Amino acid sequence: MTFLERIYCGILAVTIVCFGWYFLDTFIHVDINAAAISDHVTRIWIMFGIYIGLTIAVTLATWFIDSEVEDEFDERDNKIDMFAERVCSYFQAMALLGILVLVMYEFSAFIIAHVVLATIVLTSILGLAVRLYLYRRGI
């Protein structure tokens, strides 16, 4: 497994745990139809802070553990990156259409904000998963 793959695995795990916890907690403890987004701003910022901190920690830990990092970003990495970005762009386009439908039907700002957040998170997870798949299975 290359250094890049280890980083992707670490960030994927952090993303799933961090945002998975946030969405579970939100949908279990909050009445999403009555909640106001302004009541949850602090929570969202804290969660973002934890996510950024953990991502940096995972990257640094992988860097220190892998003391013989000599891998460079080469043409295959580039190709894999482009393919993953293309898959993500299709997903984002579909999600944007879904968000537009939510806006047209006047869903609450709380729901729309969380669907936007879910789109960002799922795009990130999809991009990382596609990259890891292509590193293992080839392109």
Interacting residues with another protein (CB under 8 A) = 2, 5, 71-72, 74-77, 79, 133-135, 137-139
Give the shortest CB-4-to-another protein separation in angstroms.
8
Q: Which is nearer to another protein, 100 or 139 (CB)?
A: 139
In which residue are the tokens 């996510």 written?
51
CA 58, 116, 82, 137 torsion-angle sign: positive
Give the shortest CB-127-to-another protein separation in angstroms.
15
Structure tokens at 102: 């939510």
CA–CA separation, 77 and 135 (whole Å): 8
Q: Which is nearer to another protein, 19 or 127 (CB)?
A: 127
Give the shortest CB-55-to-another protein separation in angstroms.
23
Report yes or no: 91 and 126 within 8 Å, Cβ to Cβ. yes
